[in-house]
Structure 1
Amino acid sequence: MSSSYHPAAPRSFFARRFAAVLFTLSIGTAGLGAAAPARAEGQIRVAEQFGIVYLLLNVARDQQLIEKEGRKEGLDIKVDWVKLSGGAAVNDALLSGSVDIAGAGVGPLLTIWDRTHGRQNVKGVASLGNLPYYLVSNNPGVKTIADFSDKDRIALPAVSVSVQSRVLQFAAAKQWGDKEYNRLDKLTQAVPHPDAAAAIIAGGTEITGHFGNPPFQEQELAGNPKAHIVLSSYDVLGGPSSATVLYATEKFRNDNPKTYRAFVDALADAARFVTANPDAAADIYLRVNQSKTDRKLLLSIIRSPQVQFKVAPQNTLALAQFMYRVGAIRNQPKSWKDYFFDDPATAAGS
């Protein structure tokens, strides 16, 4: 699916496209009930979502970095790429055995880590970098989260699962106390980022807020003069933090050590590539996603001092402890290492 959209998309288009996405996901996940058979070394299926937060995967795909690292391990790795929307769909795909590596926010990782603790033992593989996520509104009356009313609807990729949803809950807990952490949940709706961005830019829909990610949040701010930032994930989490991560089951990691190593090494290669070649990285994003996003806008994001492309997770524990505190997860994380695999590439995490 293309991550492009038309800024003047009418509401009927928004409704049709959102329905089509839901239909596609329902068909795609309907057959995921039975776990897939064990796979031999040299095969890997990666689930990604929308946005420049997945740039490292885009670069690894375009430059065939996984295949290159696999050859160093003596493997001819076959890589399959799957695009889904929302952490819930990604988690379902991972647990069903339909994908091997899941890409989603820290929120979905913590949910599935908790759910599979002592069983499939899903843990984080690596971060996709530090990028701020903005809650953007086109309602001039909304200056803080306390200004949202029952007339507003906030789009995010998955209700009560996505990292955007969890960060919004964390912000609500800071605003009104832990007992009111889910106060804004009733206003949230699951909408893919491209469609939510179209709604914010066009106006005139029930969607007046979007907790998104780059480049959609920047497109909203540039495309609608009423659009403004209500909240930044960095403000809630206390500084630069890894919002989007990759994770896998313990079985896949143990059964495919060479493939796993090639994947992590390729991700580190991609991080170095993006840092050294921002122009080429922007072109890769446009090409892989068949996106019509403004190239100058992409480069401003990639080169932003707030953005860091690295594979070691950063500043994730505060959200994990919040989720435990309010009962969103049952297992208490004492350290970020509880929900990430021990790996030299992520040893400097937090």
Structure 2
Amino acid sequence: MMKRRSLLSALGAAGLGAALPARAQAATRIVFGYTAVTDFASVFVAAEEGYFKKRNLDVELKFIPLNSTIPAALQSDSLQIGGPTPSVFLQAVDGGLDLVVVSGGGLTSKTITGFGLVARAGSGIKTAQDCVGKKIGVPGLGAFLHVTFRAYLKDNGVDYRKVNFVEAAFPQHGDLLRGGSVDAVVSADPFMSRITDSGAGYVASYYSTFLPEGNQTIVHAAKREWAQQNPAAARGFREAVQEGAAFMQQPRNDARVRASIGKFIKLPPEVLAKVQISPPGAVVSEKQLAYWVGLMKEQEMLRTPIEVAKLVVK
């Protein structure tokens, strides 16, 4: 009788063990869109250190050449979460897309000189006034660098309407300067350093140092519908990015952080070693979004009232 019970117990345990994988919840798949800047470092770290997998998220990181195309990719479900700049995000909302912020990327800092105005060698551009009548490439019309550079021009008494801005992806900046297609570009490292090292251009202004501290440079956005249907995944994504941000803030992890960045934006070792990394800001506040709303209203970029309280996933 004891043997029979033992056999039944063993069979029952085996049956339970076989049933467990069938009941295990499948990982939520997320395609995340990023551009070639270090502001995505906390996402890169979360992917490489296993913070997404720990939260049962299957996250595929997809490179997007132009930041301004990310909202359309979210709308078409090509991406579940993507990293537009705050201005691109707010313009999309203003245009009728129902997007929300899940988490955040990098933050502005007066210590960061990793982006600025890079003028073509021989152009003579040195000041904001010198930009009048010039053709300047920006990596996304209405994106972070475009909006903040226009604010810099305004603060220096220059009407940004007198500057001819054209859209140009980061990897094209050096070639456009060498070919004379543009007079300057608003660029960022590692592309900025490559341009100056090659002699194709020079930094006319580290204009970014005028920006207020602690505002988002990148927001991680999703369709509201997706966030409402996948609240655990949205929360898990934010928590993973927070853990990535905490990892970044430990000096002993610097080499691993840089290795993660290098993997996803393909930096050579000599560039990777000295590139500046924006401080991380995984949680986006209403105050941070309100700063961008104010800046964009000054530049007449928004047509409708924006209620920032409705845009941040809690």
Q: TM-score, normalised by structure 2?
A: 0.78
SS of residue in 2 equivalent to 1:294: helix
8 Å Cα contact 1:279/1:299 also seen in 2: no
1:320 aligns with 2:293: yes
> Partner residue of 2:55?
69
> Partner residue of 2:265?
289
Q: Distance in 1 between matches of 2:75 and 2:275?
A: 37
Cα deviation digits, residues 19-62 of structure 1 (max 9, x gap): xxxxxxxxxxxxxxxxxxxxx97121111111222222222222
Alignment coverage as a number of residue pairs:
279
> Partner residue of 1:215?
190
Q: Distance in 2 between matches of 1:115 and 1:42?
A: 29
**Aligned-pair Cα RMSD in Å:** 2.7
State the 1:191 CA deviation. Answer: 1.6
Q: Distance in 2 between matches of 1:322 and 1:289?
A: 29
1:338 aligns with 2:299: no
> Partner residue of 1:257?
231
SS of residue in 2 equivalent to 1:104: coil
Q: Distance in 1 between matches of 2:80 and 2:217?
A: 20
SS of residue in 1 equivalent to 2:124: coil
- Seen in structure 2, the aligned counterparts of structure 1 residues 298 and 109 have a Cα distance that, compared at 3 Å, is farther
Give the one of 80, 98, 106 matched to 2:86.
106
Cα deviation digits, residues 202-225 of structure 1 (max 9, x gap): x34323322123332343344438
Q: Distance in 2 between matches of 1:51 and 1:63?
A: 19
8 Å Cα contact 1:130/1:242 also seen in 2: yes
Give the one of 58, 65, 69 matched to 1:89.
69
Q: Give the counterpart letter for 2:171 in structure 1.
A: P
- Seen in structure 2, the aligned counterparts of structure 1 residues 181 and 331 have a Cα distance that, compared at 3 Å, is farther
> Partner residue of 2:241?
267
Q: Give the counterpart letter for 1:243 in structure 2.
A: T
> Partner residue of 1:73?
none
8 Å Cα contact 1:106/1:245 also seen in 2: yes
State the 1:231 CA deviation. Answer: 4.3
- Seen in structure 2, the aligned counterparts of structure 1 residues 141 and 293 have a Cα distance that, compared at 3 Å, is farther
SS of residue in 2 equivalent to 1:210: strand
> Partner residue of 1:310?
281
Q: Distance in 2 between matches of 1:80 and 1:172?
A: 38
Q: Give the counterpart letter for 1:280 in structure 2.
A: R
Q: Distance in 2 between matches of 1:113 and 1:86?
A: 18
Q: TM-score, normalised by structure 1?
A: 0.70
Q: Distance in 2 between matches of 1:248 and 1:56?
A: 17
- Seen in structure 2, the aligned counterparts of structure 1 residues 225 and 44 have a Cα distance that, compared at 3 Å, is closer
Q: Distance in 2 between matches of 1:240 and 1:207?
A: 32
Q: After the TM superposition, which residues 11-26 of structure 1 pair with which residues of structure 2 at under 5 Å, given as runs?
A: none
> Partner residue of 2:150?
169
> Partner residue of 1:42?
28
- Seen in structure 2, the aligned counterparts of structure 1 residues 114 and 82 have a Cα distance that, compared at 3 Å, is same
State the 1:250 CA deviation. Answer: 1.2
Gaps of 5+ in 1: 1-39, 71-76, 344-350
- Seen in structure 2, the aligned counterparts of structure 1 residues 86 and 79 have a Cα distance that, compared at 3 Å, is same
Gaps of 5+ in 2: 1-25
Q: Distance in 1 between matches of 2:220 and 2:38?
A: 14
Q: Distance in 2 between matches of 1:272 and 1:294?
A: 25
% same residue: 16
State the 1:234 CA deviation. Answer: 3.8
State the 1:146 CA deviation. Answer: 1.4
SS of residue in 2 equivalent to 1:125: strand
Q: Give the counterpart letter for 1:85 in structure 2.
A: P
Cα deviation digits, residues 296-348 of structure 1 (max 9, x gap): x544513xxxx4122134755333213224431123347xx4364143xxxxx
> Partner residue of 2:116?
134
Cα deviation digits, residues 144-199 of structure 1 (max 9, x gap): 2210254x43221122x21111112223333447xx44332xx2222211221454
Q: Distance in 2 between matches of 1:87 and 1:247?
A: 12
Q: Give the counterpart letter for 1:209 in structure 2.
A: A
SS of residue in 2 equivalent to 1:207: coil
Q: Distance in 2 between matches of 1:89 and 1:285?
A: 22
